[in-house]
A and B are shown apart, each in its own frame.
Chain A
């Protein structure tokens, strides 16, 4: 009797515990379960898996195709999806800029003349669909960039035969030779190029299966090589990343924590913030609205991270279009904008700047060529004979673009122009202003480094020889022969020593004397997490910013 009673009591207790466990699992729905395992090639990396990381993303995702995407949002999501031959360490701080082999076995062997790069593909690497990754897939990826008229084609024009391929779009790029049997890849360059290893680490160079259409594959995702694969993408609504079943972690591409990442695209910053506060999402990618920053800092200080990526926000002025074909007018805009006012538009999370390069660069030397002087600006516009001209001021519908553009329009009105503001959807903004047919006169632009090298700024954004008809990155169409020659000369420097750094710094000033842009701030950013997230796992990468794949739950 007693035994029976005890047995019944024990069973009841066990059932109650099981019921509670089931209830807890059901309540956890969104994925609060954390499983801690120690994995890794060397058995050192600690993995804390959980079912679903719910991200509230903004509308900046242009494409989810490695040949097409050229936004922070696109790359941050695809960093862990499409691996290139080389990559970067998944760590916090400046060490994150260290190049490491990703799909390659080692860093490239570079010939003494700096013209030949030799790499070997890791053996046994498979795409998420199970097919083997071949060395020739790398060559195809570069060809696909040209076929797709990718915004990244400018990175590869120094490869022997690339120019010819870009014209004919037929055959092979003669400078890339591959051997599928051994995995050996050889790349021959026309001239030595200081940043070519960094370029090999960009997503544009990520191998894709041969035969992949050169059309945008965002909604029919290309098989991946990284820890995740894109499960689905509904533009402007949502995309989902799930684990790649064929991915095997390495020392440089470590194991990841979320089994799945759901990126919900929301335009409104306030709504996004509220979703995280309410526990409907785990992470807010949006900047926190300026008037809520203090409140969020006070109430959820532990869940808020502030960081400064290498970035410059600027207004481009199209030097091919009047009135910005006149130096005096470009200088007038630089004199007229109050950079301290623009800092406030970003909630104080910004530093005023007149430089091209951000202060995080060793080549940065602060210069102040254009102190605020609205009267002088007005006079310059009058003298140039363009007062009263109507200007179209371009911006995207994101708050971080719309507000400075409205401010700029007001400033331009004050110095003698008549403005029409053109605000278009963020997802098509860059391709629209990057199309020469648009003839965008002036507008909002920003730049976040693709890789930590001054060439990523001067060569990509301000080299007149790299202006393209579509997907143009040189929104100012700035084309100055002396500056182009200087960039070409510095491009061949394979090491960045003090002398070279000083030359880059001088070039920064020289370009601003030509007022190619009106740079205004270097911004700071926020990452905001729900209380379920363990911010101890937080990694902010120097290039890709917050590393979604390494976060963990409490």
Chain B
């Protein structure tokens, strides 16, 4: 079967892309489906109409690598979602519970989680990975506060994914709205929004995020807006989520604005204006569907980017605040014991790499499927 419709067409042209029902007469008429009709004539088969989303899905499902990595990502999400189950039923401890003076039964022996060295030696020996020899307790060992690293890894995953996906949602939403406003209205609206993008763009992402994150982590957000008060405490996950969303707005907003400015000049927009459609309807009903594929790809890629940014911020103390675990804080905590307990840093590091890699490869696959000619990527 031949794919009869173009990969993606503005909605204004979509009517013309529908396959014709007639056979003989249609070949003589001037139509956008000439190639399809010729094919129909040659092979004597009818051509079914396919939506662009269906075609994209068909292309995507042939991309086994993208699917394999999507599967890895889903696996990570499921594993992290099961953190409370693992903590309660397997490890029997919460992510922030200290077990400094506790012991764990490994085989027939009670081993201290943080044992004071004896025999004239100073210092403390911290429990290493038990690899299921302690009935699921301290599978990846203990940290410097006697907390179960495996439990913290899973809870850290929840935090990192929450911040990553949450900030990606906020960032994408704001970017799309700003890009639509700038691209549709042009003129001074575009000027103001573009300067706003430039202002954020001018700062290195991490530096700006550290400055905002560190300041807000101490004081939180407290705005009295007259009718209501916005109050977010310093340790709240919303702080790193908002900070990361804010600093990455231009990285989606700017390329989208470019696309929308170009679409704004197309006939279907002029047609919609001529029909008397309201600006809101044109922006969200006509223009937005035409950039939806780019937005979707940006969204996937920005999640990965945001997870990395969160890890970097938390590592530097300006992201997720202790004792809450995130992959970034776990790496930060583990680095002091890098020479004696490298797994404390390696395991969350590997988790970040796998998540980011899986999202990036799936995002690339999605981009290829939705619009193979597009050059959508997050640039710093």
List, in ascending order, chain B residues with CB within 8 A of A410's CB. Answer: 96-98, 145, 323
Cβ-defined partner of A347 (8 Å) among B123, B218, B234, B340: B123
- A420→B217 CA distance, assembly (Å): 11
Interface string of A294-306 (1 = CB under 8 A from B): 1101100000001
Given A347-B124, A409-B323, A413-B96: A422 in contact with B336 (beta carbons within 8 A): no
Point out the residue from A348, A402, A409, A424 that lies within 8 Å of B122, measured CB to CB.
Answer: A348
User: Residue B121 contacts which of A294, A422, A432 (CB distance < 8 angstroms)?
Assistant: A294
Complex formed: what's the CA distance from A289 to B124 in Å?
Answer: 10
Interface residues of B in 188-218 (CB under 8 A from A): 214, 217-218
Bound together, the chains give a CA A289 to CA B344 distance in angstroms of 15
B337 lies within 8 A of chain A by Cβ:
yes
**Mask of A385-411 contacts with B, CB within 8 angstroms, 1/0:** 000000000000101001100110111
Complex contacts, A399 vs chain B, CB 8 Å? 144, 336
Q: Is B233 an interface residue (CB 8 A)?
A: yes
Tell me, in angstroms, the Cα distance from A409 to B94 when the chains sit together.
13
> Is A345 touching B117 in the complex (CB atoms < 8 A)?
no
Contact, CB under 8 Å: B96 / A293: no
Residues in A neighbouring B335, C-beta threshold 8 A: 268, 270
**Inter-subunit contact B122/A270 (CB<8 Å):** no
Q: Is the C-beta of A439 less than 8 angstroms from some C-beta in chain B? A: no
A292 touches B322 (CB 8 A): no
| Smallest Cβ-Cβ distance to A424: which chain B residue | B218
Does B116 lie at the interface of the complex (its beta carbon under 8 Å from any beta carbon of A)? yes
Q: Which residues of B contact A407 (CB under 8 A)?
A: 98, 100, 145
CA separation between A311 and B114, bound complex, in Å? Answer: 24
Flag whether A421 is at the interface (Cβ < 8 A): yes
In contact, B234 and A420 (Cβ under 8 angstroms) = yes
What's the Cα separation between A8 and B121 when bound, in Å? 59
- Residues on A with beta carbons closer than 8 Å to the beta carbon of B125: 291, 294
A344: interface (CB < 8 Å): yes
With the chains together, A504 CA to B234 CA distance in Å? 41
Interface size class of B (residues with CB under 8 A): 20 to 34
CB distance A349 to B122 under 8 Å? yes
B273 at the interface (CB under 8 A from A): no
| Residues of chain A lying within 8 A (CB to CB) of residue B338 | 270
Known: A406-B145, A409-B323, A413-B96. Is A338-B124 also a contact (CB below 8 A)?
no
Q: Is A423 an interface residue (CB 8 A)?
A: yes
Q: Which of A269, A421, A424 contacts B323 (CB 8 A)?
A: A421
Q: A270-B335, A403-B145, A423-B321 are in contact. Are A297 and B101 (CB under 8 A)?
A: no
Chain A residue with Cβ nearest B113 = A344
How long is the Cα–Cα vector from A235 to B174 in the complex, in angstroms?
38
Chain A residues with CB under 8 A of B122: 293-294, 297, 306, 347-349
Given contacts A269-B336, A423-B317, contact A344 B121 (CB under 8 A): no
In the bound complex, what is the Cα–Cα distance between A137 and B235 (angstroms)? 47
Known A-B contacts A291-B337, A403-B144, A423-B321; A344 and B124 likewise in contact (beta carbons under 8 Å): yes
* B161 contacts A by Cβ under 8 Å: no
Tell whether A46 is near chain B: CB-to-CB under 8 Å.
no
Residue of A342, A397, A410 ringed by the most chain B CB atoms within 10 A: A410
B42 CB, nearest partner CB in chain A, Å: 72
Bound Cα distance A423, B97 (Å): 18
Instruction: Please encode chain B, from 103 to 128, with 1 for each CB lying within 8 Å of some chain A CB and 0 for all others.
Output: 00000000000101100011111100
Q: A349-B122, A406-B98, A423-B321 are in contact. Are A270 and B145 (CB under 8 A)?
A: no
Whether B278 is near chain A, meaning CB under 8 Å from some CB there, is no
Contact with B along A423-461 (1 / 0, CB 8 A): 111000000100000000000000000000000000000
The answer to the question of A340 belonging to the interface, with a C-beta cut-off of 8 Å to chain B, is: yes
A406-B98 Cα distance, complex, nearest whole Å: 8
Q: Please give me the residue from chain B that is nearest to A524 by CB atom.
A: B122
**Which chain B positions have C-beta within 8 A of A306?**
122
**Could you tell me the distance in whole angstroms from the C-beta of B285 to the nearest C-beta in chain A?**
44
Most chain A beta carbons < 10 A, residue from B96, B116, B124: B124
Interface residue? A41 (CB, 8 A): no
Query: In the bound complex, what is the Cα–Cα distance between A397 and B218 (angstroms)?
Result: 12
Give Cα A270 to B341, complex, Å: 12
- The answer to the question of A125 belonging to the interface, with a C-beta cut-off of 8 Å to chain B, is no
Interface-centre pick from A290, A295, A402, A403 (highest chain B CB count, 10 A): A290
B101 is contacted by which of A341, A409, A423, A432 (Cβ under 8 Å)?
Answer: A341
**Once bound together, how far apart are the Cα atoms of A422 and B216, in whole Å?**
11
CB–CB A270/B339 < 8 A: yes
CB distance from B187 to the nearest CB of A (A): 45
Residues of A within 8 A of B337 (CB): 270, 289, 291
Q: How far is the CA of A425 from the CA of B318 in the complex (A)?
A: 10
- B238 CB to closest chain A CB (Å) equals 13
Check A293/B100 contact, CB under 8 A, given A420-B234, A421-B235, A422-B234.
no
B340 and A291 within 8 A (CB): yes
Cβ contacts under 8 Å, B339 to chain A: 270, 274, 292
A290–B322 touching, CB < 8 Å: no
How far is B232's CA from A420's CA once the two chains are assembled, in angstroms?
Answer: 12
Mark contacts of A261-302 with chain B using CB atoms, 8 A cut-off: 1 yes-contact digit, 0 otherwise. 000000011100010000000000000011111110110000
Alpha-carbon distance between A341 and B339 when the two chains are bound, in angstroms: 24
Contacts of A425 in B (CB 8 A): 214, 317
A422 touches B321 (CB 8 A): yes
Question: Given A345-B100, A413-B96, A422-B321: A294 and B117 within 8 A (CB)?
Answer: yes
B207 to chain A, nearest CB (A): 15
Chain B residues within 8 Å of A342, by CB: 100
Per-position binary interface string of chain A over residues 198-222, scored 1 when its CB falls under 8 Å from any chain B CB and 0 otherwise: 0000000000000000000000000
Known A270-B335, A409-B323: A344·B101 in contact at CB below 8 Å:
yes
Given A268-B335, A402-B322, A423-B321, A348 and B123 touching (CB < 8 A)? yes
Q: How far in angstroms is the closest Cβ of chain A from B334?
A: 10
Residues of B within 8 A of A289 (CB): 336-337, 340
* B124 proximity list for chain A (CB < 8 A): 290-291, 293, 344, 347-348
Chain A residues with Cβ below 8 Å from B144 are 290-291, 345, 399, 403
Could you mark each residue 322-352 of chain B with 1 if its beta carbon is under 8 Å from any beta carbon of chain A, else 0?
A: 1100000000000111111100000000000
CB-CB under 8 A from B98, the residues of chain A are: 341, 406-407, 410-411
Q: With A289-B337, A397-B317 given, is the CB distance from A423 to B322 under 8 Å?
A: yes
CB-CB under 8 A from B146, the residues of chain A are 341, 344
**Interface 1/0s, chain B 67-103, versus A by CB < 8 A?**
0000000000000000000000000000011101100
A-side contacts of B340, CB under 8 Å: 289, 291-292, 295
Chain B residues whose CB sits within 8 angstroms of the CB of A348 once the complex forms: 116-117, 122-124
Knowing A403-B145, A410-B98, A421-B235 are in contact, say whether A290-B123 is a contact too (CB < 8 A).
yes
Assembly CA distance A365 to B350 (angstroms): 52
- For the complex, what is the distance from the CA of A476 to the CA of B123, rounded to whole Å? 32
Residue in A344, A403, A411 with the greatest tally of chain B CB atoms within 10 Å? A344
Chain B 141-154 interface 0/1 with A at a Cβ cutoff of 8 Å (1 = within): 00011100000000
Q: Which residues of B contact A422 (CB under 8 A)?
A: 217-218, 234-235, 321
Q: Among the listed A268, A297, A345, A409, which residue makes an inter-chain contact with B336, where contact means beta carbons less than 8 Å apart?
A: A268
- Which A residues touch B234, using CB under 8 A? 420, 422
In angstroms, how far is the closest chain B Cβ from the Cβ of A185?
A: 43
Residue of B nearest to A390 (CB): B233
- Bound-state CA distance A343–B336 (Å) is 19
| Chain B interface residues toward A at CB < 8 A | 96-98, 100-101, 114, 116-117, 121-126, 144-146, 214, 217-218, 233-235, 317, 321-323, 335-341
A interface residues (Cβ-Cβ under 8 A, vs B): 268-270, 274, 289-295, 297-298, 306, 338, 340-345, 347-349, 397, 399, 402-403, 406-407, 409-411, 413, 420-425, 432
- The 3 A-B pairs with the shortest beta carbon distances in the complex, nearest first, are A293-B123, A341-B100, A294-B123
> Would you list 10 pairs from A and B whose C-beta atoms are within 8 A, ordered by A residue?
A290-B124, A291-B123, A295-B340, A338-B101, A347-B124, A348-B122, A421-B235, A421-B322, A422-B218, A423-B322
Please give 7 more A-B residue pairs, beta carbons under 8 A apart, in addition to A347-B122, A349-B123: A294-B121, A338-B100, A345-B100, A348-B123, A420-B235, A421-B323, A424-B218
